[in-house]
Structure formats: C-alpha cells, structure tokens
C-alpha cells in the first residue's frame, strides 16, 4: 500500500513545454517560485483568507473569531474540570462566539458558569453517551450505515444512514440493535464515506514527462482524462511523482479523450476534489445535464469553479485540428486543468479539453462528454 496522501498538499509550479502548451489547451504554465515565507506566517495568512472567503467575514471579524475560538479552548479545559463526572460535552457557537458546556448535575452549574462558559443542563453525561457509542461500535454495521457519533447538543448518539438504504433489512436490524444500546437518533444522509488515501481522485494532478494535467474520473482499472495530455503507452506519475500506470488509449484531435490504467498500489475512488472551496464530491452516475444547467469543474491549477452549460455537440477547431461533439460552458479554466472533472451535482459530465480566458477575467471551456469516453473504451465509471 502506498504512503498516505497528505491533506491538500501544496504543489510546486512546474515548467511546461511540448504540444500541450499550444494555445487553446490547458497544460501547466511556467511559473516562478514564490518568495519563501515562514510556515507559521503562511498558515496564519491562509486561515484568515479562507475564513473571509468561506464564511463571508471581514479580516477583523475573522481575527476576532479566531481569538474567541482560542479563548474557548482555554475555557473548555477549565469548565470540564469544574463539571467533573457530570460533564456532558461542549461546543462553540460562531454567531455568539460563546462556548456552551452541557452538565448533567445542576449542583455543578454555578462552578462551570464561573469559568466563563454558558451552561446547558442535560440528563446524560458524556461517559454514559460514550458507553452507548461503544456498544454500537461492537455491532456489525452494514454498508448502508454511514456513521455514528455522540452529539453533545442533543445529548444523544446520532446514527447516519444513507437515505437510499434506510429500508434495507440489514440496516433496519442494525438500527434496532443500536436503539437497544442507548439513546439513539437516526438521521438520513446522501453521502457515502470513502477513503481518499492514494486514490485517483478527480481534479488531482498527474504528470507525463514535464507536462501536468488533471484526472477526470475514476473508472474500473484506472481513470479518464484528456487525449492531448499523452499518447498511448506513455507513462504517468501521480501527485507525489510515483508511478501510476500508462495511457491505454488516447485520441486527439477529432476527439480529446484518453484513459490511464492504475497499478503500483494506487486504487480508484468515486470522488472529485472540492479543493476546500466545497466538500469533496461523490460521483454517483453520469446522467447528462441539460443546456442551461449548473455545472462545476475541478482541476489541479484553478481548482473548483462553477458555471452553466452553454451548448452541446460543438466542434472546436484547435490549431492541431478539429475536435467534435464537445460541450461548451462558461466555467473558467487555466493551464494544467486539462483532463479534469466536470460534474453536475453528483453526476459525472466530462473531462476538460480546452478553452479561452482564465479564472481572473473569466472565459469559456469545453469538455468531452464522459459517456462517449466510457463507450469508446468499454469502461465502467467508478460510482459511490
């Protein structure tokens, strides 16, 4: 088994030459290295930037929230000690910037409140709820059950079940046993948990010589991508520069699709990277989205961007020749995004081919529809 993939490893810029650098395509551009900064300063800047983007905060608001969270960490330790065996969990509320501590003994409430925490009285302690969780841990959970955890806010154990599997007999039997274990609440979810370690994940980079492109979608035995990224037989290395496999088939121009086999400890997973902009997306099928539908793209350069399907069956006339039956979108893309995933909801749509513009000023991008690629090579999409 390959070594574990670090979370969202930062990729250095690569110098790119060769055919993929031709106008209209999206290979990696040459880029100079950024001026080195200390790890501590970069992390702080990154966290503040992400908080402003994802939570809609100003820079002062982001800093204030971080400070409140830091204080809550200190308060939680004191409050837990004050609550003793009656402690029943704690949580931070961003809007009020308060730490709430659940307590199962009214006599301890004043001591906990004195630490600066808000107190909520409940009927079960953390130890009692954890005992319930451990009893559920001992059960044999079927695949339709996604997860379970102690939920401090409800003072119960929450079991998440995939909505499409709730009526399965094995799921119902598991839930019956779980309820015997203690106070349980069942919630439905559309998501299936899956490992991301060393998997071929949509949007991730791969390398053919000195060219970087992006993985489209996992298929049984490998992944699909753009044909202009490599020819049949060409070797492919993954995000960590270890050997993945070889191009088993490739067509360009006329078409712009290819597939790569997977070996050497790599495996396929039905996931497209959200790059921290959104949660990583599970792939559940390849139903084609209509014109006018929203669609999103994941790639190793510009990461996650969304837009609209503008046209289908369009012929794109690149300098190397025409590519037919393409779908046009107003989703931006940049060099290195070639081959990456276009997805609508949880349905795979296609692999990035080329386009114009960039993700600063905008532009248009074309993709090769996924179902044509699967049909051409007799491949089966890896689905959740």
6, HSE (Cβ side, Cα atoms, 13 Å) = 5
Peptide bond into 253 cis (omega under 30): yes
Q: Are 336 and 301 in contact (CB under 8 A)?
A: yes
Token readout for 139 is: 């059960």
Rounded to whole angstroms, the Cα distance separating 255 from 224 reads 13
Rg, C-alpha atoms of the chain = 25
Catalytic residue among 218, 250, 338, 341: 338
Do the bridges between strand 199-202 and strand 267-272 make them parallel or antiparallel, or are there none, so unpaired? parallel
Q: Please indicate whether residue 338 is annotated as part of the active site.
A: yes
Q: Report whether 282 contacts 201 (CB < 8 A).
A: no
What tokens does 256 get? 């712009």
Name beta bridge partners: 348.
343
What is the DSSP annotation of 81-150? HHHGGGEEEEEEETTTTEEEEEES-GGGHHHHHTTT-EEEE-SS-HHHHHHHHHHHHTS---TTEEEEEE
Active site residue 191: no
Report residue 110 as tokens: 């004043």
Residue of 86, 204, 214, 228 marked active site: 228
List the one residue out of 120, 124, 286, 312 whose CA is nearest residue 217.
Answer: 286
Q: Which residues contact 80 (CB under 8 A, 6 or more apart)?
A: 87, 90, 101
- Residue 204 a catalytic site member: no
Query: Which entry of 111, 256, 280, 337 is annotated as an active-site residue?
Result: 256
Q: What is the C-alpha to C-alpha distance for residues 359 and 228, in angstroms, rounded to an integer?
A: 21
Catalytic sites, residue numbers:
228, 256, 338
């Amino acid at each position: 088994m390959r070594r574990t993939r670090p979370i969202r490893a930062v990729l250095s810029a690569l110098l790119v030459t060769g055919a993929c650098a031709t106008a209209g395509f999206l290979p990696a551009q040459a880029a100079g290295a950024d001026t080195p900064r200390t790890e501590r300063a970069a992390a702080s800047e990154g966290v503040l930037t992400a908080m402003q983007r994802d939570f809609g905060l100003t820079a002062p608001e982001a800093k204030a929230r971080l400070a409140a969270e830091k204080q809550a960490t200190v308060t939680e330790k004191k409050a837990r000690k004050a609550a003793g065996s009656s402690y029943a969990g704690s949580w931070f509320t961003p809007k009020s910037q308060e730490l709430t501590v659940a307590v199962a003994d009214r006599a301890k409430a004043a001591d906990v409140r004195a630490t600066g925490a808000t107190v909520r009285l409940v009927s079960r302690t953390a130890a009692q709820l954890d005992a319930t969780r451990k009893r559920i841990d001992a059960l044999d959970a079927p695949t339709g059950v996604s997860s379970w955890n102690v939920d401090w806010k409800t003072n119960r154990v929450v079991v998440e079940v995939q909505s499409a599997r709730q009526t399965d007999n094995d799921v119902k039997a598991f839930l019956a046993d779980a309820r015997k274990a203690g106070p349980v609440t069942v919630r439905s979810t559309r998501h299936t948990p899956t490992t991301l370690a060393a998997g071929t994940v949509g949007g991730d980079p791969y390398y053919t010589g000195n060219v970087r492109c992006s993985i489209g979608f996992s298929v049984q035995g490998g992944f699909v991508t753009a044909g202009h990224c490599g020819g049949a037989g060409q070797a492919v290395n993954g995000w960590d520069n270890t050997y993945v496999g070889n191009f088993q088939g490739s067509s360009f121009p006329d078409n712009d699709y290819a597939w790569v086999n997977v070996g050497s400890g790599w495996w396929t997973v039905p996931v497209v990277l959200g790059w921290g902009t959104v949660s990583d997306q599970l792939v559940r099928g390849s139903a084609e989205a209509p014109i006018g539908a929203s669609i999103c793209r994941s790639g190793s350069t510009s990461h996650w961007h969304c837009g609209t399907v503008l046209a289908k069956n369009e012929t794109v006339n690149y300098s190397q020749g025409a590519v037919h039956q393409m779908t046009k979108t107003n989703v931006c893309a940049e060099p290195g995004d070639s081959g990456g995933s276009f997805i609508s909801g949880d349905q795979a749509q296609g692999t990035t081919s080329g386009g114009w513009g960039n993700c600063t000023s905008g532009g248009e991008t074309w993709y090769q529809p996924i179902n044509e690629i699967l049909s051409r090579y007799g491949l089966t999409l890896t689905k959740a």
